Amino acid sequence: AQKVTQAQTEISVVEKEDVTLDCVYETRDTTYYLFWYKQPPSGELVFLIRRNSFDEQNEISGRYSWNFQKSTSSFNFTITASQVVDSAVYFCADTGGFKTIFGAGTRLFVKA
Amino acid sequence: SAVISQKPSRDICQRGTSLTIQCQVDSQVTMMFWYRQQPGQSLTLIATANQGSEATYESGFVIDKFPISRPNLTFSTLTVSNMSPEDSSIYLCSVVGDRANTEAFFGQGTRLTVV
């Protein structure tokens, strides 16, 4: 069974601060795929990053980075030097059997 | 990638009526998914629509309330039947690539208000 938990409901930061969004996943699969999506106020869903269960390295892509820890079943997402345009709801998601299950989402407010 | 068109983009409906939402994809896909996003909430999967077979519904969703059609590999419809104000939500169509590690693509959503 897939389950994704985002314990942080809302986070508020001041522009240029770094912010980390937490995600804990549960799965019985040995191979699984984790994602982060962004939903800005306009409502569309934007794919941000992907992680396969067999990837070993954490990566950085521009201002985004992620920390995948199998030992704690966590897949945390960090935005460095946040900007007002980063204000959105961020969803962690798990894809198993091709269907995507979303966490509850974390609403991020970035104040100027 | 996939481009998904959903119609209508929004509607206001009377309780007790039904609304059919259309989803058109620009490429052939095996599976299509329908999600509901209630105000301020996350996306909840309603069902998986496969061409040539009945849709597979998630717990809490039934075919009588949310009948789904999948006549071909690029098109699907979701009907919200006998609507009540609690059905007011955004309904989204989604597809994924043929490889398990591809991200999901979403339509722009249908914002439904039931009065």
Digit-coded pLDDT (tens) for A18-68? 999 999 998 877 778 889 999 999 889 999 988 888 776 677 778 999 888
State the pLDDT confidence band at B2, using cuts at 50, 70 and 90: confident
Residues of chain A neighbouring B48 (CB-CB closer than 8 A)? 99
Single-letter amino acid code for the residue at B37: Q
* Mean per-residue pLDDT over chain B, rounded: 94
Residue B100 pLDDT more than 70?
Answer: no
Contact B64, B81 (CB under 8 A): yes
CB-based contact (8 Å) between A4 and chain B? Answer: no
pLDDT score, position A21: 97
Contact B59, B52 (CB under 8 A): no
Residue B71 pLDDT more than 90?
Answer: yes
Q: Phi/psi at A84 (nearest 5 deg)?
A: -60, -35
Is B101 in Cβ contact with A52 (below 8 Å)? yes
State the pLDDT confidence band at B76, using cuts at 50, 70 and 90: very high
User: Among residues A3, A5, A25, which one has the least CA distance to residue A105?
Assistant: A5
Q: Which residues of B touch A (CB under 8 A)?
A: 31, 33, 41-45, 48, 90, 92, 94, 96, 100-101, 103-106, 108-109
Residue A1 pLDDT more than 60?
Answer: no
pLDDT score, position A97: 66
Angle at the Cα of B37 (from B57 to A22), degrees rounded to 5?
105
Rounded to an integer, what distance in angstroms lies between the CA atom of residue B86 and that of residue B66? 14
Stated length of chain A: 112
User: Among residues A86, A74, A91, which one has the least CA distance to residue A17?
Assistant: A86
**First-to-final CA distance of chain A:** 41
Alpha carbons within 13 angstroms on the beta-carbon side of residue B38 total 8
Is B108 in Cβ contact with A95 (below 8 Å)? no
In this prediction, what percent of chain B has a pLDDT beyond 90? 83
pLDDT score, position A99: 84
Strand A10-14 versus strand A106-111 pairing type: parallel
Alpha carbons within 13 angstroms on the beta-carbon side of residue B91 total 29
Q: Which of A74-88, B3-17, B92-106 has the lowest mean pLDDT?
A: B92-106
Angle at the Cα of A102 (from A7 to B47), degrees rounded to 5?
145
* A71's tokens: 């030992």
Rounded mean pLDDT, A72-99: 91
CB-based contact (8 Å) between A44 and chain B? Answer: yes
Which chain B residue lies closest to A5 (C-alpha atoms)?
B42
Is A33 in Cβ contact with B100 (below 8 Å)? yes
